[in-house]
Structure 1
Amino acid sequence: MSTDTPSDTFPRQYARTLRYTVGAPRSFAVAPDGSRVAFLRSRSGSDRANLLWTLDTGTGRERIAADPLALLGGGEEDLSPAEKARRERSREGSAGIVGFALDGAGALAAFALSGRLFTADLVAGTARELPAAGPLVDPRPSPDGAYVAYATTSGELRLSRTDGSEDRALAEPEKEGVTWGQAEFIAQEEMDRDRGYWWSPDSDRLLAARADDAPVQRWWIADPANPGSTPAEVAYPAAGTPNAEVGLWLLGLDGSRAEVRWDREAFPYLARVHWSAGGPPLLLVQARDQRSQQIRTVDLASGATELLLEEQDEIWLDLFPGVPAWTPDGQLVRISDEGGVRALVIGDRAVTGDALHVRSVFAVTDDAVLFSASAGPADTELPPGWTGLFQADRDGVSPFAPNGDGAASAVHAGGVTVLSTTSAEQAGSTVQVLRDGKAIATIASGAETPLITARPAFRFAGARRIPTAVFLPTGYDRERDGALPVLMDPYGGPHGQRVVQAHNPHLTSQWFADQGFAVIVADGRGTPGRSPEWEKAIAFDFAGATLDDQVEALQALAEEFPLDLGRVAIRGWSYGGYLSALAVLRRPDVFHAAVSGAPVTDWQLYDTHYTERYLGHPAERPEVYAANSLIEDAPKLERPLMIIHGLADDNVVAAHTLRLSSALLAAGRPHTVLPLSGVTHMTPQEQVAENLLLLQVDFLKSSL
């Protein structure tokens, strides 16, 4: 699709289209009988408001199931502060319908729109509003389709009949700060758990989380540009401070309730809940240090739990999508680090070996477990950033879908798969619908075509074989143009894989290259996708391993590419912002300028679940926090440094940048601070996102 205006520039288009996600299909769900696929997509690459669509797998025909413009009568959305916070946690920048849930037959969808409750009959193609208390979040139909449960911003968990005849509370907060049926801050931000209740397969009761954030310290985030506005109060569990108290209850539709009991003092983190017909409900609960965790079953009569499995790791235990789960015949499915390999375990047996690094489980069928994996430590043939799909059944492990040289993801049910694939050579992703492995339809994308083309050269760099992608200016000629100034463009930390076999994630790096740089993206130790040892090499040492690997990748690639090692800059956001500032503070011999966006400068100001996993508890390891802080390094600054921070950021709060800037000023070290009024950690505003790219280029060129 062409762009809206011929005067578009890449920064403007990139910001306006939310990194080319606007107009692309997403959030796929397949009916259990395979008859239809539900998904979200906006009308075009310039319209952020998602509609709910269905695709008939028999005919391949698409139709609109719910249109927010029609349902709201042409009015604008009105989002509650709680909904805005949920979207910030999930990095959601689009509008309209941003999520939905299906009943057990895949025939009824429920979703929130402007804090109101709506359902869509996916068979009839009609949508309606149900009476509900609001503003509300996260509505989910019962498996039998008779009810929709939802949480309110006032902390209630409520129930509405889908025929519109009844709306009532299942659980109400006993005091301020208590919420029922909602994931608390830490679960949303760090555990990848964005829900707080789960329906029983029989539709007669729910498991509901009760969170009390009274113990959590309060921070206040002000808007300095508007001094008359009241600061926002945020319950923020910083490292070493109390978390919200989270429990779990069985709530019957008949009014019965029972507390689900486990040793919450020893295992305070409720990380995963699974409830299916394959067995009793499963809980995964973690110790605060995340070196031990338990998988427990729930007795539905009493709420008592029984230990099914306890796992321990001397460094930490990771959480994975899709597990733990039951197979239909009652075997436990999990992902475990065993013998230096991240393996899929079914029952008591690891079914994968060292050729695969298991990433997630995306479906459990009657006869197979379907999972995604990247190349394991034994594989040296596949390119950096490759991800494939596999199945484990009674015959062993085999590819589930055609695994090319790119990256793949999928959802599956009823013999139907929605397969999304990317490659470094093609913009966006290709979404196909397959039945029994054969393509029966393609779901079109309305995303705009990028104005530039990314041309990554993938390499394993140095002795550690660090996954990297290198970008040179479009039309670059080595004999004519000579050696280029270098821009390192990392994230470089946990959960942030940047080197992937896809096109669009590399567009910003290519744009910087086209401004006259050789750009390098390096996924050093700590980033996902290689092996447990690779990911856990950063334990208690963010500053050492991640920075060392950026240097190693740079120096190794200089043997092949035209890199001017006398002019090297680095830029990054969030963990990448930390890494960028760290680079010029501790290795000015290598890095000559840095742009640091929303950096964590003092790890005692970041949250519990993330920070304590990697650095331990600050009361027990104060020396680790000091060694990984940027504040004490301020007197070392001798290179140009620009720090950028959104003043409305409630994830990495602006205090990080202000404390570093104060320390730099006290040490007499010149630097640049760019405060962004009203901007959160996501920087979703178009003008801000566009101009940030332009300002960074100007700063880097003048500094080098």
Structure 2
Amino acid sequence: MTNEPLSFPRRSARTQRFTSGAPRAFTVAPDGSRVVFLRSSSGTDRANQLWVLDVAENRERPAADPAALLGGATERLPAAERARRERSREGGAGIVGYATDTAVELASFTLSGRLFTAELRAGTARELRVPGPVIDPRPSPDGRLVAYVAGGALRVVGADGEGDRALAEPESPAGEGSVSYGLAEFIAAEEMGRSRGFWWSPESDSLLVARVDDSPVRRWWISDPARPESEPQRVAYPSAGGANAEVRLFVVGVDGSRTEVSWDRARYPYLAHAHWSAAGAPLILVQARDQRSQLFLAVDPASGSTRMVHADEDPTWLDLFPGVPCWSPGGQLVRIADEGGARVLAFGERPLTGAQLHVRAVLDVSADDVLVAASAGEAAALPETGEVHVYRVNELGVERLSQEPGVHSAVRAGGVTVLVSSALDRPGTQVQVLRGPKSPTTVTSHAEHPGLSPRVTLTQGGARKIPCAVLMPTDYDGDNPLPVLMDPYGGPHGPRVLAAHNAYLTSQWFADQGFAVVVADGRGTPGHSPAWEKAVRDDFTVTLDDQIEALHALAERFPLDLSRVAIRGWSFGGWLAGLAVLRRPDVFHAGIAGAPVTDWRLYDTHYTERYLGDPATNAAVYAESSLVTDEGLSAPAAPHRPLMLVHGLADDNVVAAHTLRLSSALLAAGRPHEVLPLSGVTHMTPQETVAENLLLLQVDFLKRSLGLSSPGATPA
């Protein structure tokens, strides 16, 4: 028996891409005395515990341990909780999320659908016996109550476990399970960044509650062909051009009173964001279906009436951003807007930043300033390829808090800032607790070292100055041109060119198999400029043009063998890989398309219609961006390039029908291809052996397809 070291693919899968054991999900007490966070016990342990850092004593202590609370029993997730985790791409276990009261004295969370609370000062935790399975429990601001969702009803219970009762229950639904209170509908959680459906009043006497009726939404069936004895899963999937869930909003008192919030839901059906703080009335952001107009509305809790605080319009589309809209402590509206060709922070009606910054998110708002995450704008003095920094912004100017090159974010309260930083020259993330002039405290990480370091060059390619990362094999001597592997996501919401070590671990592993790996963030990817992102309106195929432009430009500076070029990607990147080999076989010689969106009519409303419009009126636009309707499939003059299609059969985001329809079209056109179905796998691939062998099989396919020597993959 040998004790050979585990391969990188196996270690990457076992450690959740080397994120297990790293601290995350920080909350700072308003007095700055405590920092609450999640962390598992080791780099291979997926079960997160709840931790508290005593700032003054620089001492970490556990506040809740799932193993102890469950008595060693295996955690069992309710279906609704599994769906929530799929929407947020959460692959961890144990305590994966929590909420606190305003003072950060009490935390609530779920395990196996059961409700637990933790007293954060005392470090004790207990279960509250309530009807379940429990979803999204949240303490009231004063810590006396906990609201949660169970069985589609919004319920509330005393923090002492007494007085449990329903505040809003589904009426007789149009179809079983159609109506729920207090949960985000699929489209909000998947595309809008809104993962919750209720918000406490600052006085703890009422809540803003979303009522969702998804009975108008088309029902799809997702089955597991490997388990014919199991019933298919019935899901409400709002595909492009189809009906969305009907979302209404109510102010619900803890005394049982109920008032509906009124706005023009016919014109603005999307409830994109809600905010309720002591600084002002409840604030909601509602969007039109075409996402070209939106309203910021203040709600009168007594009557349910709304008044317009601000309105936005854009001829292309309006983006949604983390942390906004919200009120400043002085009652000013804080938002992020596209003005003068730049993405700026707006305070009231005045922009506080200009074209030097590209604002990505609002992290905190105080009486003195606004804390934002931003990258260098088009007017910046120097490009900072792949970098994201934390800035303090107020009427006096802008100050950068994060200094080293990298990707940074922050959480702040009570004079304490938790700075979370990644850099190219060190693995993982570093978490520092900053307290004015005092020396920073580092929060312990148990994440494993990856065992490899990316040999990466961050640069720009082509006339458009496309952000790029080029990776070479660790032992490459520079003598011979290398076969090329393009490794993009390449589309909206998914920047891949980042000044962060762990962002390139898998790409470096592919490079070490004998490839020059190129990652390019072309038009459509965030972090550059509004015009850059919006260039994909009505035509996703420009993203392929940018991959080709970057490739050819980089070949003038790096030893790239353009006679052997492959491309791989997942989701949008999978679509891009399929598009590349089908439409530009003169450039790309092999492709791996993982979970590709092959027919955009089968993808969801809020995402797809933002970019491609309504399929009923923009049929030609959808056809142009489709792989299934690609006329080039039957073109006899086009060389047939090897294509591997990979898809999880349990995927409820990009359903397996995408790959199956493309495979059928390829077969009908006489085009050889390979299909790798993953039974029981969703849009994520958290299963250890699946994730490992998927990488090994991809390398084997690429070497076979490009005529490289390959010993063959050796799956575990």
Pairwise TM-score range, normalised by the shorter structure: over 0.9
In structure 1, the gaps of 5 or more residues are: none
Structure 1 CA distance, aligned partners of 2:123 and 2:181?
A: 32
Question: How far has the Cα of 1:66 moved from its partner?
Answer: 0.2
Structure 2 CA distance, aligned partners of 1:287 and 1:265?
A: 8
Q: Secondary structure at the match of 1:333?
A: strand
Q: 2:494 aligns with which of 490, 493, 496?
A: 496
Q: Is the 8 A contact 1:149 1:158 kept in 2?
A: yes
Tell me what 2:415 maps to: 415
Deviation per CA, 1:386-409: give whole Å up to 9, x if none: 11111122422222x132211110
Pair 1:469 & 2:466 matched: no
| Equivalent residue letter for 1:258 | T
Question: How far has the Cα of 1:135 moved from its partner?
Answer: 0.3
Q: Secondary structure at the match of 2:610?
A: helix
Tell me what 2:363 maps to: 362
| Equivalent residue letter for 1:593 | A
Question: How far has the Cα of 1:78 moved from its partner?
Answer: 1.1
| Equivalent residue letter for 1:383 | E
Tell me what 1:674 maps to: 676
Tell me what 1:50 maps to: 48
Tell me what 1:425 maps to: 425
| Equivalent residue letter for 2:552 | Q
Tell me what 1:574 maps to: 571
Tell me what 2:623 maps to: 626
Q: Is the 8 A contact 1:66 1:120 kept in 2?
A: yes
| Equivalent residue letter for 2:324 | V
Comparing 405-414 with 435-444, greater Cα deviation is found at 435-444
Q: Which runs of 4+ in 1 moved over 3 A?
A: 437-440
Deviation per CA, 1:223-277: give whole Å up to 9, x if none: 1011111000010000000000001000001111100000001000000001111
Tell me what 1:85 maps to: 83
State, as a whole percentage, how many aligned pairs show the same letter. Answer: 65
Q: 1:655 aligns with which of 620, 640, 657?
A: 657
Q: 2:22 aligns with which of 13, 21, 24?
A: 24
Number of aligned positions between the proteins: 696
Structure 2 CA distance, aligned partners of 1:368 and 1:37?
A: 21
Tell me what 1:455 maps to: 455
| Equivalent residue letter for 1:572 | G
Tell me what 2:162 maps to: 165
| Equivalent residue letter for 1:120 | A
Tell me what 1:218 maps to: 219
Taking only aligned residues, the RMSD between alpha carbons, in angstroms, comes to 1.1
Q: Secondary structure at the match of 2:690?
A: helix
Structure 2 CA distance, aligned partners of 1:251 and 1:438?
A: 45
Structure 1 CA distance, aligned partners of 2:567 and 2:381?
A: 29
1:232-631 aligned within 5 A: 232-379=233-380, 381-399=382-400, 401-436=401-436, 438-479=438-479, 482-543=480-541, 545-631=542-628
Structure 2 CA distance, aligned partners of 1:6 and 1:529?
A: 42
Question: How far has the Cα of 1:521 moved from its partner?
Answer: 0.2
Q: Secondary structure at the match of 1:631?
A: coil
Structure 1 CA distance, aligned partners of 2:46 and 2:466?
A: 37
Deviation per CA, 1:373-430: give whole Å up to 9, x if none: 001011251331111111122422222x132211110000111111011111110011
Q: Secondary structure at the match of 1:182?
A: coil
Q: Secondary structure at the match of 2:532?
A: helix
Structure 2 CA distance, aligned partners of 1:151 and 1:663?
A: 44
Q: Secondary structure at the match of 1:611?
A: helix
Comparing 379-388 with 56-65, greater Cα deviation is found at 379-388
Structure 2 CA distance, aligned partners of 1:440 and 1:404?
A: 15
Question: How far has the Cα of 1:347 moved from its partner?
Answer: 1.1
Q: Secondary structure at the match of 2:689?
A: helix
Q: Is the 8 A contact 1:383 1:458 kept in 2?
A: no
Deviation per CA, 1:179-216: give whole Å up to 9, x if none: 10000000000001000000000000000000000000
Q: 2:74 aligns with which of 66, 73, 76?
A: 76
Question: How far has the Cα of 1:438 moved from its partner?
Answer: 4.1
Q: Secondary structure at the match of 2:5?
A: coil
Q: Is the 8 A contact 1:332 1:346 kept in 2?
A: yes
Cα pair distance change 1:41/1:70, threshold 3 Å? same
Q: Is the 8 A contact 1:9 1:451 kept in 2?
A: no
Pair 1:130 & 2:128 matched: yes
Deviation per CA, 1:609-632: give whole Å up to 9, x if none: 000000001011111001110012
Structure 2 CA distance, aligned partners of 1:17 and 1:196?
A: 32
Q: Is the 8 A contact 1:294 1:311 kept in 2?
A: yes
Deviation per CA, 1:456-489: give whole Å up to 9, x if none: 101111110000000011110122xx01000000
Question: How far has the Cα of 1:440 moved from its partner?
Answer: 3.5
| Equivalent residue letter for 1:663 | A
Deviation per CA, 1:12-67: give whole Å up to 9, x if none: 00011111111000000001111100000000011110000000011110000000
| Equivalent residue letter for 1:587 | R
Q: Secondary structure at the match of 1:179?
A: strand
TM score, norm. by length of structure 1: 0.98
Structure 2 CA distance, aligned partners of 1:172 and 1:536?
A: 41
Q: Secondary structure at the match of 1:45?
A: coil
Structure 2 CA distance, aligned partners of 1:537 and 1:60?
A: 48
Question: How far has the Cα of 1:689 moved from its partner?
Answer: 0.4
Structure 1 CA distance, aligned partners of 2:586 and 2:316?
A: 32
Deviation per CA, 1:271-306: give whole Å up to 9, x if none: 000111111111000000000000000011101111
Structure 2 CA distance, aligned partners of 1:325 and 1:632?
A: 44
| Equivalent residue letter for 1:567 | R
Q: Secondary structure at the match of 1:78?
A: coil
Deviation per CA, 1:666-701: give whole Å up to 9, x if none: 111111001111110001111000000000000000
| Equivalent residue letter for 1:524 | G
1:3-18 aligned within 5 A: 6-18=4-16
Cα pair distance change 1:20/1:181, threshold 3 Å? same
Question: How far has the Cα of 1:508 moved from its partner?
Answer: 0.5
Tell me what 2:712 maps to: none
Tell me what 2:102 maps to: 104
| Equivalent residue letter for 1:114 | S
Structure 2 CA distance, aligned partners of 1:109 and 1:632?
A: 51
Q: Is the 8 A contact 2:352 2:395 kept in 1?
A: no
Q: Secondary structure at the match of 1:632?
A: coil
Q: Is the 8 A contact 2:115 2:134 kept in 1?
A: yes
Deviation per CA, 1:142-199: give whole Å up to 9, x if none: 00000000011x2010001001221110110112310100000000000010000000
Structure 2 CA distance, aligned partners of 1:324 and 1:256?
A: 27
Q: Is the 8 A contact 2:214 2:245 kept in 1?
A: yes
Structure 2 CA distance, aligned partners of 1:439 and 1:197?
A: 39
Structure 1 CA distance, aligned partners of 2:81 and 2:277?
A: 28
Structure 2 CA distance, aligned partners of 1:464 and 1:420?
A: 31
Q: Is the 8 A contact 1:131 1:167 kept in 2?
A: no
Q: Secondary structure at the match of 1:229?
A: coil
Deviation per CA, 1:510-532: give whole Å up to 9, x if none: 00000000000000000000100
Q: Is the 8 A contact 1:571 1:596 kept in 2?
A: yes
Tell me what 1:635 maps to: 634
Structure 1 CA distance, aligned partners of 2:4 and 2:113?
A: 37
Deviation per CA, 1:109-133: give whole Å up to 9, x if none: 0111110010000011110111211
| Equivalent residue letter for 1:574 | S
| Equivalent residue letter for 2:578 | A
| Equivalent residue letter for 1:619 | A
| Equivalent residue letter for 1:161 | G
